Amino acid sequence: MDREPGPSVRLKLTLSYAGFLMVAGALLLASVWFFLLRDLPDVKNGIGGLQVRKQLALHFASGAAAVMVFLLVFGLLGGWVLAGRMLAPLARITDATHQAANGTLSHRIRLPGRRDEFRDLADDFDTMLARLEAHVAEQRRFAANASHELRTPLATSKALLDVARSDPTHDPGELVERLHAVNTRAIGLTEALLLVSRAEQRSFPRERVDLSLLAEEATETLLPLAEKHGVGVETDGDLTPASGSPALLLQLTMNLVHNAIVHNLPDGGTVRVSTGAGPGTALLTVENTGERLTPELTATLTEPFRRGTERLHTDHAGVGLGLAIVRTITRAHDGTLTLTPRPEGGLRVTVELPAP
């Protein structure tokens, strides 16, 4: 916003200090005159008394004027110094806001001293800067990772086409098949990215959904995959009402059950999907057997493009967006997502949503 320049706060404070000092001084002098000097008994009566009174008044007035001039100078100087000291933290805060406005988010004010209004403001500002910086870094990482992941299928297609061009005897059927697979993966990735951004914008209608029905639907859809991986799936739970987008919540459940199946033991693993209503909340828990996970690794799994163990060349080459999508959808529904490694191996994921 463009504003007209005005007097500085320091100047205004100085003038008010000096003003108050003058008013207080004037009042003091007036009361001295009024209560002490005016009623002096020996100057009360007679012509001679009047003369003395006049002289006294003159004398008092000149003394008072000198005092007032002194107070004015003292008030202005003292006020200027005091206001400067009071407002010093503001200069640091202003400097930091200017830097932030110019795009430098790494600067912190870090005002020393004990707590007061300025320190509170500075601390809140520092917290806000830290959050903003982390958010921007996360967005940048996301964009970099997304471009990198999208480049991979394109580069693979190009390599396939190059090989086909340089070798005309190559089987075109195989080429088409492989190109098709690469293309499908790229579409899947793009759709996942779109899903994340749509859930982040929270632009979806909310309706009443029953989590137990979603769990059933997800497990039923993924049953063939579970059979292929030799994983047994159990579901239990009664009516668990929540409010939100049925499509997004189904996606969330599918991602969790999918993970529980594919990141399980090589053979004979199990998955348990349970739902239940707590006080004011709706809970969805997906638990699976599998490799042992450390709490440190578990804490990073919800980051986009994070794959726990790098096995890009197995038949399940995930992109690492499944849990990031779950996290985004949970947040968009004002819920919380908790990942806990199971002591005996595998993972327990809990989604807690507010009850409608």
Ligand X SMILES: Nc1ncnc2c1ncn2[C@@H]1O[C@H](COP(=O)(O)OP(=O)(O)OP(=O)(O)O)[C@@H](O)[C@H]1O
Which residues make up the interface to Mg ion (CB under 5 A)? Answer: 259, 318, 322
Indicate the residue among 105 and 321 with the shorter CB distance to Mg ion: 321
Distance CA 260, CA 285 (A): 11
Does 324 interact with ligand X (rule: CB under 6 A)?
yes
Does 337 interact with ligand X (rule: CB under 6 A)?
no
Which residues, in sequence order, are CB contacts of 218 under 8 Å at separation 6+?
250, 253, 254, 256, 257, 273
Q: Which residues pair with 3 in a beta bridge?
A: none
3-state class of 231 per DSSP?
strand
Q: Which stretch binds ligand X (CB under 6 A): 144-152, 220-228, 257-265, 328-336?
A: 257-265
Indicate the residue among 129 and 347 with the shorter CB distance to ligand X: 347
Q: Which stretch binds ligand X (CB under 6 A): 39-47, 162-170, 211-219, 321-329?
A: 321-329
Distance CA 180, CA 169 (A): 20
User: If contact means CB under 5 to 8 A according to the sort of partner, which of ligand X, Mg ion, none does residue 79 touch?
Assistant: none
Indicate the residue among 71 and 254 with the shorter CB distance to ligand X: 254
Closest by CA to 302, choosing from 250, 256, 353, 343, is 256
Distance CA 341, CA 346 (A): 6
User: If contact means CB under 5 to 8 A according to the sort of partner, which of ligand X, Mg ion, none does residue 347 touch?
Assistant: ligand X
Rounded to the nearest 5°, which phi and psi values hold at 176?
-60, -45
Indicate the residue among 96 and 261 with the shorter CB distance to ligand X: 261
Q: Which amino acid belongs to residue 286?
A: V
Does 347 interact with ligand X (rule: CB under 6 A)?
yes
Query: 260, 283, 329, 351: which one contacts ligand X (CB under 6 A)?
Result: 260
Binding site residues, ligand X, CB under 6 A: 259-260, 263, 288, 290, 301, 306-309, 318-324, 346-347
